[in-house]
Amino acid sequence: MVKYEQIQRGTGLSVGLNRGHQRTALRPVKPAAKKSARASFRRKLVAETVGYQPYELRVMDMNEITEKKALRFAKRRLGNIRRAKKKVKQMAEVKRLLKKQAPKEAPKTEQKA
């Protein structure tokens, strides 16, 4: 069964963006999709074996400098600010995990020649 929600249309004014008679319209409500475990596993596996896309690597680098530039770049690539915010957050998490996993180098000692 499809659920509907009422939305208000028109302001009763003859000018403006939302001009026209006041009326209510029904709009179908789309249910939230469930994320399947199988699909998320596949995405993780592909990212682990193949690596990340060039724009994702660039987002990771930009995020170190400033998050705003990374967001703007991701928005241009993905076409939506919601998707961009999600991607920037995801890439920041990946970068954090990569730094955590990186082997720690021994402290360098200066050698006099």
Q: pLDDT value at position 72?
A: 96
Handedness of CA 19, 20, 23, 27 (dihedral sign): negative
What proportion of the chain, given as a percentage, has pLDDT over 70?
Answer: 92
pLDDT greater than 70 at residue 112: no
Three-state secondary structure of 25-43: EEEEECCCCCCCHHHHHHH
| Range 1-25 average pLDDT | 85
> What is the signed CA dihedral for 13, 18, 19, 23, rounded to 10 degrees?
-90
Per-residue pLDDT tens digits for 29-70 = 888 888 899 999 998 899 889 998 999 999 999 999 999 999
Q: pLDDT value at position 111?
A: 67
CB atoms inside a 10 Å sphere around CB 62: 19
